Amino acid sequence: MYQALYRKYRPSNFNEIAGQQVVVKTLKNAISNDRLSHAYLFTGPRGTGKTSIAKIVAKTINCENLNDFIPCDKCKSCLEFNSKNDVDIIEIDAASNNGVDEIREIRNKIDLVPSFSRFKVYIIDEVHMLTTGAFNALLKTLEEPPSHIIFILATTEPHKIPATILSRCQRFDFKRISLDDIVSRLEYISKTEVLDISRDVLLEIARLSDGGLRDSISLLDQVISYADSDITVSDVHEVNGTLTQDELKLFFDDVIGMNYENVFSKIYTYNNNGKNLVKIVESIVSFIKNILLYYDAPEFLKSCGYDLDVYKDYDISSDKLIKCINEFNECLINMKKSNNFQLTLEMCLLNISNIFNEKVEVKEVVKTEVKENKVKIDKVSVVHKNKFDDSLFKKIRVENALSDFNKGILRDILGSIDNFKNYVLDNELGKYASMIMDGKLKAASNEYLVFVYDNGDLANTFNSCFKGIESLVLKVLSKNYKVVSVPIDEWESIRDLFNGKKKQFVYVPENGQFDSVNESTDEIASMFDGVVEYN
């Protein structure tokens, strides 16, 4: 049976450990000076060697013929360990054995001397998964074990371990493995397996593994199985569900050029081809960061193995690039809350379009009296950015919808909502259909529809695209409706006012003030900000 590469090439002694020089040196000195602690805690990211080093420590301290910290593999202890029959080295997976009974069993057997080894070693992996009762049962045993017992606890989440346990252990924090160390290990594996793989490919695998050696070896294993002949960087990204640097460049070029025909077509293709949209967003963030580094720290960027030519053609202000990074980071947070990654990414890109379409202009605007709200504003000069400020838009349209709320119309339209699904794949109307399907219709009148979103950014994007949405509503419902969206927290406050009759909602004629708003130059709303207020 085929053995996975990460298992086949798991290190068997300290000299084979990649990275973690501080941990290795400290443990070697402790062994040579006979200063072994009764309990160790190994913490750090996954795939950085915690369990491997725990096993090496257990094997090393029990070897009868140790030579320069390398076990002999001939004594009884080594032979039993290699055959996985060593009764003196007990490995426990706390994820599946996390109860009080399992820990009590350890406590009941702890006084038994080792069968043939010097020490009996308990390796408890994912120790943070133990229950509170199990930690309490372990506490006294961990504090004062017999001299022949050593505990090695391993975890990726040390903050979940009680302070009473932490204070009784020597803690070792494992760091992410460096690119050079990962590439060096991958080159050794490739040479041993007689694989013809270029250093560029191995460097890309190392970069994608984010400091986890086990992840990089597993990805190498997958790429070997996937590739038909010579392994390329593109093969690595196909397997990993990500994009190459050249593909990222083309995608980002379309974003900053506001070529959304290509952008949305690519996202649709990526999603259909099984690309990981979360990883793609993470890669875009890294790509934009590299554009910043190209101007501020090019030598560092070069030392990380990146091709500087990819980033040299961009003439974008740092302010705009940082805004892009913030938008994509917000998108990653929203993706974790959403079950529709594609829509969340599309909404993010529509927001980003405003970053590259901002212009500061001076307008002269005449605001007329709105009698219902007793606001009168004369001719004023307004300095604004053409990013849609929908505060007035929401106020007028929600007010008007609830002033003539009709439950029958709401019920009828809810029965027809599924019809919008027919347009989700439409090149022109698909994004509007997705917005409608992702929201919840909460109010309707003979003229207005109110949609509610759990996410405020999605609600704002809906409003900035209201004209396109209204055209789709007309197509599906065969009637003109004006649409508006509000976040769920705002809607709950408005609903309480409406249901409790604490406020009278008064119809306010729009008088065409939103007619000149469009998705790329959303100017008019900010001019009218403050004309209507809820009393």
- Please name each of the domains of the chain with its CATH number: 5-173 (3.40.50.300), 179-240 (1.10.8.60), 245-355 (1.20.272.10), 388-527 (no CATH)
> How far is residue 363's CA from residue 192's CA, in Å, rounded to a whole number?
71
> How far is residue 334's CA from residue 344's CA, in Å, rounded to a whole number?
7
Whole-number pLDDT of residue 390: 67
Whole-number pLDDT of residue 349: 86
Whole-number pLDDT of residue 521: 36
End-to-end CA gap in the chain: 75
> How far is residue 171's CA from residue 351's CA, in Å, rounded to a whole number?
45
Q: What angle do CA 433, 456, 452 make, to 5 degrees?
A: 55
Does residue 496 carry a pLDDT above 90?
no
The 10s digit of each residue's pLDDT in 428-466 is 888 888 889 888 999 999 999 999 998 888 888 888 888
Sorted by sequence, the CB contacts under 8 Å of residue 296 that are 6+ apart come out as: none
3-class SS of residue 13: coil
> How far is residue 457's CA from residue 455's CA, in Å, rounded to a whole number?
6
Lowest mean pLDDT among 76-80, 103-107, 199-203, 262-266: 103-107
Q: Which one of 231-245, 351-365, 498-512 scores highest in mean pLDDT?
A: 231-245
Section 259-276 average pLDDT: 86
Q: Is the backbone of residue 274 left (phi > 0), alpha (psi -120 to 50) or beta?
A: left
Helix ranges (H only) for 209-340 are 213-226, 233-240, 245-256, 260-272, 277-296, 298-303, 318-337
- Write out the two tokens for 237: 């990204």
> How far is residue 30's CA from residue 319's CA, in Å, rounded to a whole number?
51
Q: pTM value?
A: 0.63
Does residue 363 carry a pLDDT above 90?
no
> How far is residue 400's CA from residue 508's CA, in Å, rounded to a whole number?
6
Sorted by sequence, the CB contacts under 8 Å of residue 71 that are 6+ apart come out as: 12, 13, 59, 60, 63, 78, 81
Whole-number pLDDT of residue 516: 63
Where does the pLDDT of residue 378 fall: very low under 50, low under 70, confident under 90, or very high at 90 and above?
very low
- Write out the two tokens for 236: 């690595």
Percent of the chain scored above 70 by pLDDT?
89
> How far is residue 322's CA from residue 327's CA, in Å, rounded to a whole number?
9
> How far is residue 532's CA from residue 372's CA, in Å, rounded to a whole number?
9
Whole-number pLDDT of residue 231: 87
Where does the pLDDT of residue 316 fall: very low under 50, low under 70, confident under 90, or very high at 90 and above?
confident
Give residue for tokens 């055209």: 471
> How far is residue 131's CA from residue 153's CA, in Å, rounded to a whole number?
15
Section 317-338 average pLDDT: 87
* Cβ atoms of 99 and 67 closer than 8 Å: no
Whole-number pLDDT of residue 336: 83
- Write out the two tokens for 220: 């190498």
